Amino acid sequence: MKKGLKIACISLASLVGLVLIVVGVLVWVVFTPSRLTPIVRGVADKMIKCEHAIGEVELTFFSTFPQFGLAVDSVWLVNAMEGASCDTLLRADCLRAEVNLRKLWQDKSIELNDLLLEGVEVCLYTDSVGRSNFDVFVTDSVPEEADTAAFSLPFKGVSLEQIALRKAKISYVDEQNDVEAELVDGEVALNVKWQDDVVKGSVNLNVPSVTAAMGGLTYVDDVALVCDVPFEAHLDSVRLELQKASLAVNQFGVSVDGRVSMPANGDIETDVQAEFSQWDIQEVLRLVPDSFAYLLNDVQVDSGIVSVSAAVKGTLNDSVYPVVSAHVQLENGGFAYSALPTPLCDVNVDVAAYVNLNDSLDSYADVHQLHARLNNTAVEVSGRVERLLADVEGDVEMHADVRLSDVLSFLPEDLPVKLAGKCSGDMKAHFVLEELLEGMYDGLRVEADLTTKELVADYENWHVASPQGKVRLQLPNVEAEKKCGFARVGVELSEMQLCDGDSVDVEGEDMAMVVSLSNPLEGDWLHAGCELTSTSLSAQYGTINGDLRGANVSGTLSLNKKDSTEVPQVQAQISLASMSGGMDSMQVSLEGPSVSGTMRPSLKNSKEPVISLAYSGGALSFAMGESVRVVTDSLSLSAQTRHRSGEENMLLEWNPRVNVHLKEGLVKLAGFKEDISIPTIQFDYSNRDFAIQDSRIRLGNSDFQLKGDIKDIHKFVSGQGLLTGELDFVSHTTDVNQLMDLVSGLGSTAEDLGDSTVTEVSTSEESMPFIVPKGVDLILHTSIERALVGEQVATNLGGNLYVKDGVLILEEMGFICDAARLQLTAMYKSPRPNHLYVGLDYHMTDIQIEELIKMIPQVDSVLPMLSSFRGKGEFHLAAETNLTRNYDVKWSTLRGAASIEGKDLVLLDGETFTQISKLMLFKKKTENKIDSISAEATVFRNEVDIFPFMVSMDKYKVALGGRHNLDMTFNYHLSLLSPLRIGVDVSGNFDDLKIRPTKCKYAEDFRPVERKSVESQTMSFRELIRQSLVSTLKKED
């Protein structure tokens, strides 16, 4: 055994020694550098046309054991070219190659185990016309025929285990395409095993510094590039497979798996997956070259870790693209964007996307999570976005917790707004992005439920606060009718306060409001509906305050958006359990008021509104301090107006039609001792007919009723005709004494009433008098069954009152009382405020003269001697005068005539007559009674002319007459006609009486001339009235 072993060892040693000897001979004797180097240089001279230099070529075995190798100590290629940075195309300090001779001998395959270049420096350059400095290899001048044969290796296989570049510096400049790239200290290793159309290998690249630019822009600047790409290429099927290939730029690595094949039809089949994880976005962005940094000027990334896994699978050709799916995750992102006032933080994104370029409807993104926080406001979104390449359609859910103070940062700094409180809630939305961008919101579906807490908002002096509230938003509004089906906004507030400094203060409880809307951006019309309920709502504005209980308000609005001049359609109902309010000292309260109203455009002209309003309510109470208090049991009112532009008069412009029905009203006035009771007021008003069905008022002992119609109001206000009307004023009882007592002192100053502490006047000196309206033809039939005047009871008081085109006429207003039978016809005109006209035609028959003076004291001024008589008589007065605006008589315009007749009158012991009787030596037994007296007087300005009349008493007949002035001076003449003829002039005034005997002016057979001055005046006056009435009739025609 040992021997055998020994023999074997010796044989092996001999064999090794032989091999070594052979190798040594080959290396050091046969293939010496001096023999190999010229061979290689000769080959190079034939293949390379540029200047080149190849150092010493050496065959190696031991350094490349067990393979033989070739080592070249230096290689130079020099191809100077204008524009190139250097002349040297290639410089390698060392080139070494290992060849597996056994494989070559046995399998006729080349196994190049190692091809190594060290200290490589490559300078590649292409000028602007496309000439390159690396075009240095000799080519045949004869054109090659088209190679139609299939490609085949001359060997069974080629195995290139490793091609490596060490310490390589490669620069590439292509001026034609404006590309520059540079690799420094690169380590490149390429392992290839090629056998039977299958190439397996790997590419390893480790470059500490890579710089690349194109088009003047630097895309990569001094970045480290590391690649480890194992691959398997099937040349027969043209398929490349990658397995766990990794590519890293600086520290950012991407792993790629998959395969790419190119079948015979020319398509490219792909199935590639790539994945990277935990990239720090901040670091990634540092790779962005300066030339692109401006793109990120508005964005500042504070933090963020991003991970992506993506896959590309499918066929790629001219018309078909592979589908791409990707899963992107971002954790702890932090961004600042110039458009956002505050940085976003806690940004977490988890999105999976699927992109199919072949079917625009088959791309989507699943947002598993999108969370971001802005200060104390957080938003979280999830959902799916489909059809990414077409009409992007999304279904998303969002939860938001908003601190309203964060919203402030989005508002202009100079806006005086303060916000506080929280708003949180969930929202679901379905949208089509393109529709949103085009302003089409009909396809938008949103459901949002938000809650607010401790909401406080301030804008200048305005302050809004609500401790808790809910907001619900629905798009579309499935609960409303179609035209308001776009959106529904519901707001519920447990409490609400709204104020504007001290001027406005509104507080509400349990308020609920629902607003329904049509799409405001679509269609020609905007439709809206609103419902509001509140258990309690109180408001105060300055001195105005209101308190509503059980408010229930609903309404709709339709607005033509394209024609802002068209009248909107509005419909509203308001019902309240109760309402109370006030302004200053006024207070009003309503029980169960209900108001409904509509506004719509006119059918004839859509720009003109037609408004309807109806009010009904129970008890109403109104008070103005302690001075006025009004109470009604019920009040109903309905009104409709039809607006007509171009009319100057408000009535013609609005054409109101009003129906009012008030029942059981009671008015209490502080200055009135009696309450004013209003059993009913009911009327219908329109511009054509103001019909008062009934209006009754009770005041103390008096009652009044007014009925009738006033017509042609529209003609009157437009100046096209007369206002006509006929009213009946009926009173069963009118207590004039009580009425005068009630109104006594009204409108007077306290000073007038004796209170010197108050100096304010109630009427100014320039106060307007009553101006009789022109264009009016009204008749008021009065009928007072019983009137209490003084101690008299007037019965059957009646007559007509005309208002006729600027003239007010009392026609034969007569009544009967115990003292007299009276009849008054009067006329009042007001051509201008300071020039009024009054005409009177006044008759009193069967009147006691002393009662006459009591009733009309002014009569004593006109006929002062009447105070000396007692008995029954008749009094007639016709007069006219103008008045100032304060109803003072313009004495220069006073004209009049009066007459008085009396029979069996008793002469009183007047002072004047006593003196006269002494002078005339009357018998004392003579009864102071005269048979009759008939006196007439005219009034001109302040002059009263008493026409001579005769008084018979006892044996005396006296004729007297003269002038009496309204300043109570007089100048009378008395002629004693029987039994003596003697005359007396009486002049002066009652304080300074001058009596002088004089010649009798009147003849002995004096008979008074019946001048009929009053009748003349009366007839003249009647003529004036008739002319006034007739003139308007003519005008009306």
Partner 1 sequence: MKRRICYLLCVFCLGVLLNSCGMLGGPAEFDEGLLVGTWVVDGHESDHWRFDAGGKGASWDTADDVTESEAQAFTWSLVGNTLTITHRIGMTGADAIPKAYKMMSLTEVSMSYKDESTKKVTYMTKIR
Closer to partner 1 by Cβ: residue 397 or 945:
945
Interaction of residue 942 with partner 1, rule CB under 8 A:
no
- Alpha-carbon gap, residue 360 to 182, rounded angstroms: 41
Comparing CB distances to partner 1, the nearer of 516 and 1013 is 1013
Residue closer to partner 1, measured from CB, 206 or 965 = 965
* Peptide bond connecting 341 to the previous residue in cis, omega within 30 degrees of 0: no
**Beta carbon of residue 1025, minimum distance to partner 1 (angstroms, whole number):** 9
Least separation in angstroms between CB 960 and partner 1: 13
Interactions with partner 1, residue window 775-834 (CB under 8 A): 831, 834
For partner 1, the binding residue among 483, 642, 890, 1035 (CB under 8 A) is 890
List the one residue from 598, 882, 975, 1032 that touches partner 1 (CB under 8 A): 882
Q: Which is nearer to partner 1, 865 or 878 (CB)?
A: 878
400 φ, ψ (degrees, to nearest 5):
-130, 140
Nearer to partner 1, 421 or 864 (CB): 864
Among 159, 556, 632, 938, binds partner 1 (CB under 8 A): 938
Minimum distance, C-beta of residue 908 to partner 1, in the bound complex (Å) = 27
Taking the least distance from each CB to partner 1, the nearer of 402 and 937 is: 937
By the rule CB under 8 A, 1019 interacts with partner 1: yes
Backbone dihedral angles phi then psi of residue 716, each to the nearest 5 degrees: -65, -50
Beta strands in 762-851 (DSSP E): 776-789, 792-804, 807-816, 821-832, 835-848
Q: Determine phi and psi for 864, rounding to 5 degrees.
A: -65, -25
Q: Is 887 in the site for partner 1 (CB under 8 A)?
A: no
Q: Is 10 helix (H, G, I), strand (E, B) or coil?
A: helix
Q: Is 683 in the site for partner 1 (CB under 8 A)?
A: no
Rounded least distance, CB 781 to partner 1, Å: 26
CB of 940 to partner 1, least distance (A): 5
User: What does each C-alpha distance from 632 to 581, 619, 625 come to in angstroms?
Assistant: 16, 6, 18
Q: What angle do CA 624, 630, 635 make, to 5 degrees?
A: 130
Q: Taking the complex as a whole, how short is the minimal distance between the CB of residue 856 and partner 1, in angstroms?
A: 20
763 or 886, CB closer to partner 1?
886
Cβ-based nearer residue to partner 1, 551 or 897: 897
Sole binder of partner 1 in the list 711, 962, 975, 984 (CB under 8 A): 962
CB contact set of 414 (below 8 Å; sequence gap of 6+): none
Q: Which stretch binds partner 1 (CB under 8 A): 142-150, 184-192, 283-291, 938-946?
A: 938-946
At 483, is the secondary structure helix, strand, or coil? helix
User: Vertex 252, ends 246 and 258: CA angle to 5°?
Assistant: 30
Q: What is the largest CA-CA distance in the chain?
A: 220
Contact between 1029 and partner 1 by CB under 8 A: the answer reads no
Q: Which of 1020, 1029, 1031, 1036 binds partner 1 (CB under 8 A)?
A: 1020
Q: Which two tokens stand for residue 758?
A: 């108050």
Q: Establish if 28 lies at the interface with partner 1 (CB under 8 A).
A: no
Q: Does 839 engage in binding with partner 1 (CB under 8 A)?
A: yes
d(CA 210, CA 250): 10
Beta carbons within 10 angstroms of residue 989's beta carbon: 12
Among 767, 1023, 1030, 1033, binds partner 1 (CB under 8 A): 1023
Give the C-alpha separation, 397 to 368, whole Å: 10
Q: Is 1017 in the site for partner 1 (CB under 8 A)?
A: yes
C-beta of 899: minimal distance to partner 1 in Å? 12
Selected binder of partner 1 within 92, 948, 1021, 1032 (CB under 8 A) = 1021
Distance (Å, rounded) from C-alpha 809 to C-alpha 1004?
46
Number of other CB atoms surrounding residue 617 within 10 Å: 20
| Interacting residue with partner 1 among 532, 878, 900, 977 (CB under 8 A) | 878
Other CB atoms within a 10 A radius of the CB of residue 877 amount to 24
Rounded CA gap, 247 and 224, in Å? 11
Cβ atoms within 10 Å, residue 75: 19
Q: Which of 283, 509, 1027, 1033 binds partner 1 (CB under 8 A)?
A: 1027
Q: Residue 276 or residue 1021: which is nearer to partner 1 going by CB?
A: 1021
Element (H, E) at 13: helix 2-24
Kindly state whether residue 939 participates in binding partner 1, applying the rule CB under 8 A. yes
* Number of residues lying near partner 1 (CB under 8 A): 31
897 is a contact residue toward partner 1 (CB under 8 A): yes
Dihedral over Cα of 285, 286, 287, 289: its sign:
positive
Under rule CB under 8 A, residue 895 binds partner 1: yes
Minimum CB distance to partner 1, residue 984 (Å): 15
Candidate residues 872, 963, 966, 1036; the one interacting with partner 1 per rule CB under 8 A: 963
Closest approach of partner 1 to the CB of residue 1009, in Å:
12
1013 is an interface residue for partner 1 by CB under 8 A:
yes
- Residue number, 791 or 1023, with CB nearest to partner 1: 1023
Q: How far is C-alpha 930 from the chain's CA centre?
A: 92
Residue 533 is a binding residue for partner 1 (CB under 8 A): no
Question: Cβ closer to partner 1: 695 or 1032?
Answer: 1032
* DSSP-assigned letters across all residues of 733-755: EEEHHHHHHHHTTTT--TTTTT-
Contacting residue, 382, 533, 575, 893, with partner 1 by CB under 8 A: 893
Min. distance of Cβ 1031 from partner 1 in angstroms?
Answer: 13
The span from the CA of 224 to the CA of 184, in Å, is 10
Beta-strand pair 51-54/75-78: antiparallel
Q: Rank residues 108 and 999 by Cβ distance to partner 1 and give the closer one.
A: 999
User: Does 880 help bind partner 1 (rule: CB under 8 A)?
Assistant: yes
Q: How far is the CB of 973 from partner 1 (least distance, A)?
A: 8
Across-strand partners of 640? Answer: 612, 657
By CB under 8 A, tell whether 309 contacts partner 1.
Answer: no
884 in contact with partner 1 (CB under 8 A): yes
The reply on whether position 663 binds partner 1 by CB under 8 A is no
Distance in Å from the first CA to the final CA of the chain: 166
Q: Is 734 in the site for partner 1 (CB under 8 A)?
A: no
Nearer to partner 1, 215 or 988 (CB): 988
Stretch that binds partner 1, among 36-44, 210-218, 925-933, 1018-1026 (CB under 8 A): 1018-1026
Q: SS3 for 970-984, per residue? A: EEEEEEEEECCCEEE
Q: For partner 1, which is the closer residue by CB, 363 or 938? A: 938
Residue 30, classed as helix, strand or coil, is helix
Taking each continuous run of H as one helix and of E as one strand, the counts in the chain are 13, 52
CB-nearer residue toward partner 1: 306 or 939: 939
Q: Which stretch binds partner 1 (CB under 8 A): 278-286, 312-320, 570-578, 1014-1022?
A: 1014-1022
Neighbours of 1009 (CB within 10 A): 10
Nearest 5°: phi and psi at 168? Answer: -90, 135
Return the H-helix or E-strand segment holding 854. Answer: helix 849-855
| Closest to 446 measured CA to CA, from 426, 463, 462, 461 | 426
Q: Is 891 in the site for partner 1 (CB under 8 A)?
A: yes
Query: Is the peptide bond prior to 476 cis by the omega test (within 30 degrees of 0)?
Result: yes
Q: Does 966 bind partner 1 (CB under 8 A)?
A: no
Element (H, E) at 106: helix 101-106
* Cα dihedral value 332, 333, 336, 341, nearest 10: -60
Q: Given the rule CB under 8 A, which residues bind partner 1?
A: 831, 834-835, 839, 878, 880, 882, 884, 890-893, 895, 897, 938-940, 945, 962-963, 971, 973, 1013, 1016-1017, 1019-1021, 1023-1024, 1027
